[in-house]
Amino acid sequence: MPSTSELVEKVISGDVRSVARVIRDIDDGIPAVRDVLKALYPHTGKAYVIGITGAPGVGKSTLVDQMIGHLRADGKTVGVLAVDPTSPFSGGAILGDRVRMQRHSMDEGVFIRSLATRGHFGGLTQSTRSAIDVLDAMGKDIVIVETVGVGQDEVDVVRSAHTTVICVIPGMGDDIQAIKAGILEVGDIFLINKADREGSDKTLSDLRLMIDMDQKKYESGTWKPPILKAQAVFDQGVTELLEEIAKHADYLRSVYGDLRFRARKDKVREELAEMIKNRLVETVLRGITDTGEFEEAAEAIVRGDIDPYTASDDLVLPKISLPDPE
């Protein structure tokens, strides 16, 4: 095992094995990885993060593959996190997004990593955020996060992106309505992929209507999400998408003055609250699990000796006034 400082040096110098190892530690919830992340933090803040989300099979990975091609031709280095929030907490997963990006696997300027749901604390949003930091620290100019659209998890995952692209396909009809719940708010750009199929104009007008009706968010002077058409598999519309992403970056720069994710107080608040919550839950729950208090309390509740309100007070309150056991 290399020391923390060795590992940090190697990540910063772009060593692929070390980067892969650190992401694995994040993924596996290894406590020591926090020290690596702390040391990497000063080297983050340079990458531009693009989130790509949408229902299963709409062509996200195909699109990411084409985006990588264009960005590389432009001289940009690219990190990709292919996130699958659909696998069960305990149990296996098949991660297949790489298949579509195969042609880039030998390119030293591209790093592709698949992530699945894990049972440890913090969950996928936190691991994705940390993995983005690692790819950022290794010097990737652009980090693309692909995640399949299934609900709150995906929304949380793409919150870490500067620009979020929501992918749909023609003829989704009711599905478009389903997008409304939550995901519409996080979309900076909408992309109708598979525009070679019937119905893309209808989908476009449906989407336009939904976005325009969302008055509250899109006041004048704020970013109005454009709707684009693409045929990812034929590399159509990908240049236009990248142009819109660049425009959105300009917009963010004009509003916030700084593109660093942690220069934005709204994002920082969100992340900090999340981290505190995870840290607390992790520390307290691990402590009382290790000592067996958790099981004892559960049994006591089952026996009817105590109510869950009192039990949780008894378990938590004494703990949070103590210093971190780690």
Partner 1 sequence: MERNRRLRVMVAKPGLDGHDRGARIIARAFRDAGFEVVYSGLHQTPEEIVHAAIQEDVDLIGLSSLAGAHSYLFPAVVEFLKERDAEDIQVIGGGIIPEEDITRLKAAGIREIFTPGSTLDDIVAWVRENVNPKE
Ligand X SMILES: Nc1nc2c(ncn2[C@@H]2O[C@H](COP(=O)(O)OP(=O)(O)OP(=O)(O)O)[C@@H](O)[C@H]2O)c(=O)[nH]1
Query: Which residues of this chain interact with ligand X, rule CB under 6 A?
Result: 56-62, 97, 100, 148, 193-194, 196-197, 231-233
Residues 87-126 as x/- pattern, contact with partner 1 by CB under 8 A = ---xxxxxxx-xx--x--xx----xxxx-x-xxx------
Whole-angstrom CA distances from 254 to 221, 223, 248, 270 are 11, 11, 10, 22
185 CB burial (10 A radius; 0-12, 13-18, 19+): exposed
* Full DSSP string of 199-267: THHHHHHHHHHHHHH-TTT--TTSPPPPEEE-BGGGTBSHHHHHHHHHHHHHHHHHHHS---GGG-HHH
Instruction: Judge whether 194 and 58 are in contact, CB under 8 Å.
Output: yes
Residue 28 within binding range of partner 1, rule CB under 8 A: yes
Residues 63-92 as x/- pattern, contact with partner 1 by CB under 8 A = ---------------------------xxx
* CA 186 – CA 305 distance, rounded (Å): 47
The residue range among 7-15, 66-74, 93-101, 207-215 that interacts with Mg ion, by the rule CB under 5 A, is 93-101
Residue 298 within binding range of partner 1, rule CB under 8 A: no
Give whichever of 57 and 318 is closer to ligand X, judged by the CB atom: 57
* CA 293 – CA 145 distance, rounded (Å): 40
Give whichever of 97 and 154 is closer to Mg ion, judged by the CB atom: 97
Tokens representing residue 300 in the block: 């006591």
Least separation, in Å, of the C-beta of 51 and ligand X?
A: 13
Least separation, in Å, of the C-beta of 3 and partner 1?
A: 15
CA-nearest of 45, 50, 46 to 64 is: 50
59 binds, among ligand X, Mg ion, partner 1, none (CB under 5 to 8 A by kind): ligand X
β-pair type (78-84, 110-116)? parallel
Instruction: Judge whether 146 and 35 are in contact, CB under 8 Å.
Output: no
Least separation, in Å, of the C-beta of 97 and ligand X?
A: 5
Which residue from 10, 21, 140, 159 is in contact with partner 1, where contact means CB under 8 A? 21
* CA 311 – CA 307 distance, rounded (Å): 6
Residue 3 within binding range of partner 1, rule CB under 8 A: no
Least separation, in Å, of the C-beta of 24 and partner 1?
A: 4
H or E element in which residue 142 lies:
strand 142-148
Least separation, in Å, of the C-beta of 212 and partner 1?
A: 41
Least separation, in Å, of the C-beta of 238 and partner 1?
A: 21
Least separation, in Å, of the C-beta of 61 and Mg ion?
A: 3
Which residue type sits at 145? Answer: V
What is the contact surface with Mg ion in residues (CB under 5 A)? 60-61, 97
Instruction: List contacts with partner 1 (CB under 8 A).
Output: 1, 16-17, 20-21, 23-24, 28-31, 90-96, 98-99, 102, 105-106, 111-114, 116, 118-120, 285-286, 289
